[in-house]
Structure 1
Amino acid sequence: MNVFRFQQFDIKQDSEVFRVGTDAVLLGVLADLEHAKNVLEIGTGTGVIAMMLAQRFPQTNILGVDVNRIAVGLASSNFKASPFANRLTAELKDIKTFDSEMKFDAIFSNPPYFQVNSSSKDVVARQKIELDFKTLIQSSSKLLNDSGKLIVIIPRQDEEVFISLCEKENLFLQRNVSIRGIVGGEVRRSVLEFSKLKADRIIKEEFVIEKSPRQYSDQYLELTKDFHLFKS
């Protein structure tokens, strides 16, 4: 079993579960859970994002749900071995039927974004088979409390559609972080934060991963300095 090592915790990985990737790390360092206590992750996978956010926000209690039994086993094992074990839980749940008496302060997700195709690689994690944007948004709207927020990372080309779907469920854009792979490159990803409360002003930010090929930007190094093992 492959292990991805961070400074404060390790992530056990399996070929049947989507591995640690750049999108997960970006959501882990960019999502804002400052005022959230009870938090839900939809599609927890190995649990890496939940663990990063638990490290950043010590007041949070995070429940990670997934339809993949192997993923839930991995996440549970990773959670129990971490310094945040008492604040992290993984459960085998389908968000389409998941219900909770408690409403959440925040929900976050790195959802599948490829349309169903013939690829056999990480089918559930990458393709919209078990979870599509509409299902994610409708479920989140039902599970959030009145001041709660939904936080996602998605491809930039899906941004307008996602925002429109959110508005139909009374979730309104609060913050938009445009992510470029390299200085001067195209925006490839967006980290979006939504709330049931309309914002007076949408916060717009830009984030660049590399300043030159294979050279991380100062911005990336600063935000990941408490996670990655490499030195700046």
Structure 2
Amino acid sequence: MKPFRFQQFDIDQSSDVFRVGTDAVLLGALSNVVNAKQILEVGTGTGIISLMLAQRNPNANILAIDINSEAVNVSQNNFSNSPFFDRIKSRLQDFKNFETEEKFDLIISNPPYFEINTSEKDILARQRLELDFSDLVKKSRQLLSDEGLFSVIIPIDSEKEFTQIGLSNNLFLQRKVIIKGIKTAEPKRVVLEYSFKKLETIIENFVIEKSPRVYSDEYLELTKDFHLFNKKPL
């Protein structure tokens, strides 16, 4: 499988690991990483999100975990071959059983969001088989620093459920980025950021394509430091 090339790093991929996709790029580019010195990525896959965060914040140290041993091998190889190799590492770990005294300033995940079904494609990465929303939120709450952020990208029709789980764990929605694939379409994804603080939610809108197969100006601006653009979507 061909590597996916970015300006400052390459992503080697594997048929046994969920491939680079737009959701991961959006989460890596949109999430608030400014004040995060210790970052945990849950379900790293190829490592793309962690690499983007490392590029965006030169002061961040990042631990990326995954339950898939092949994903850990692939992501660690990508980390080792990047300019950020000394600040980022991958570990084979079931998040539900992850124990540490460390608290994280940012916990980030592009989690499995399909209900369990009969599909054989990317089962662990796509289906809530090993990690459901409740497990993800509860464990993140335990590991989040007092001033930390918990950031995810999920289908927009799962937002209400996810936010309710957050509230039951004293995590409050700080920021919501509603994402449309194309300007004239209904939104399908949303980036959500939670913290322990009760503040008014900041709501933003984001469009990936202004017309079919043509990136919007806001997407070009958001990812200008990452993509080797040919001006057309993946």
TM-score (normalizing by structure 1):
0.98
Q: One-letter code of the match for 1:26?
A: L
- Where in structure 1 are there 5+ consecutive unaligned residues? none
How far residue 184 of structure 1 moved from its aligned partner, in angstroms, is 2.3
Q: Distance in 2 between matches of 1:55 and 1:202?
A: 27
Q: Distance in 2 between matches of 1:211 and 1:69?
A: 39
Q: Distance in 1 between matches of 2:194 and 2:8?
A: 30
Q: One-letter code of the match for 1:119?
A: S
Instruction: Give the structure 2 partner of residue 40 of structure 1.
Output: 40
Superposition map of 1:175-186 within 5 A: 175-186=175-186
Superposition map of 1:100-179 within 5 A: 100-179=100-179
Q: Distance in 2 between matches of 1:172 and 1:208?
A: 25
Q: Distance in 2 between matches of 1:56 and 1:149?
A: 16
Other structure's SS at 2:141 match:
helix
2:223 corresponds to 1:224: yes
Q: Distance in 2 between matches of 1:169 and 1:2?
A: 41
Q: One-letter code of the match for 1:211?
A: K
Q: How many residues align?
A: 231
Instruction: Give the structure 2 partner of residue 89 of structure 1.
Output: 89
Other structure's SS at 2:96 match:
coil
Other structure's SS at 1:177 match:
strand
Q: Which whole-Å deviations, capped at 9, do the CAs of 1:80-119 have from their partners, x for residues lacking one?
A: 0001111101000101110111111110000000011111
Q: One-letter code of the match for 1:5?
A: R
Q: One-letter code of the match for 2:99?
A: D
Other structure's SS at 2:73 match:
helix
Q: One-letter code of the match for 2:36?
A: A
Q: One-letter code of the match for 1:205?
A: E
Other structure's SS at 2:3 match:
strand
Instruction: Give the structure 1 partner of residue 214 of structure 2.
Output: 215
How far residue 231 of structure 1 moved from its aligned partner, in angstroms, is 4.6
How far residue 2 of structure 1 moved from its aligned partner, in angstroms, is 2.5
Q: Distance in 1 between matches of 2:107 and 2:45?
A: 15
Q: One-letter code of the match for 2:181?
A: G
Q: One-letter code of the match for 1:22?
A: T
Q: One-letter code of the match for 1:129?
A: L
How far residue 230 of structure 1 moved from its aligned partner, in angstroms, is 1.2
- Percent of counterpart pairs with the same letter? 57
Instruction: Give the structure 2 partner of residue 196 of structure 1.
Output: 196
Other structure's SS at 1:49 match:
helix
Q: One-letter code of the match for 1:82?
A: S
Other structure's SS at 1:118 match:
coil
Q: Distance in 2 between matches of 1:198 and 1:89?
A: 33
Q: One-letter code of the match for 2:160?
A: E
TM-score (normalizing by structure 2):
0.97
**Stretches of 4+ aligned residues off by more than 6 angstroms:** none
- Where in structure 2 are there 5+ consecutive unaligned residues? none
Other structure's SS at 1:107 match:
strand
Other structure's SS at 1:2 match:
coil
Other structure's SS at 1:220 match:
helix
Q: Which whole-Å deviations, capped at 9, do the CAs of 1:156-209 have from their partners, x for residues lacking one?
A: 00000000000000100000000001112101100000001111x211100000
